[in-house]
Amino acid sequence: MLVAGLGLLFAPDVVLPAVTPAFPSDALWIGQLLGAAWIGLGGLNWLHRSALLGGIYTRGVVYANAVTYFVSALVMLRAGGGVLQRPAGLVAGMVAALGALTYGWLLFRGPAEHDLAEHRRRSGA
């Protein structure tokens, strides 16, 4: 998220035409806004990198990621063939779908048992 956000923030004129060739050059600010949001989400993820994710643990982080990836995957599907036929669009769509599945699983299932055991071992509980 952080790297993709930085790419959109500082090089939207390179990134956006790779995804959709008909993107108007006077609307690059939209990519920069998306980049800023992704940088924020990437920063949130970085701050919680050592936290236990899933279930009731850091639900806000898991929910924010699940919604972001789910909506991104739906937008890519709705955009249809034009975006998904280009390599950059296909990769972005696959990453969004995988992220939506992963964070959706974490949101409703919770962390794996071995993750809980490791967390208890590290915290001394």
Whole-angstrom distance, CA of residue 92 vs CA of residue 12:
15
Is the separation of the CB atoms in 111 and 57 below 8 Å? yes
Do 4 and 38 form a contact (C-beta atoms < 8 A)? Answer: yes
Calculate the dihedral angle through the C-alpha atoms of 59, 93, 44, 121, rounding to the nearest 10 degrees.
60
Domain boundaries, the chain: 1-47, 51-125
d(CA 104, CA 79): 22
What 8-state DSSP symbol labels residue 41?
H
The pLDDT tens digits of the residues spanning 1-45 come to 888 899 999 999 998 888 777 888 888 999 899 999 999 999 999
Q: Is the pTM of this model over 0.85?
A: no
* pLDDT tens per residue, range 40-85: 999 999 998 888 887 777 889 999 999 999 998 898 888 766 667 7
In sequence order, the 6+-apart residues with CB closer than 8 A to the CB of 104 are: 66, 70
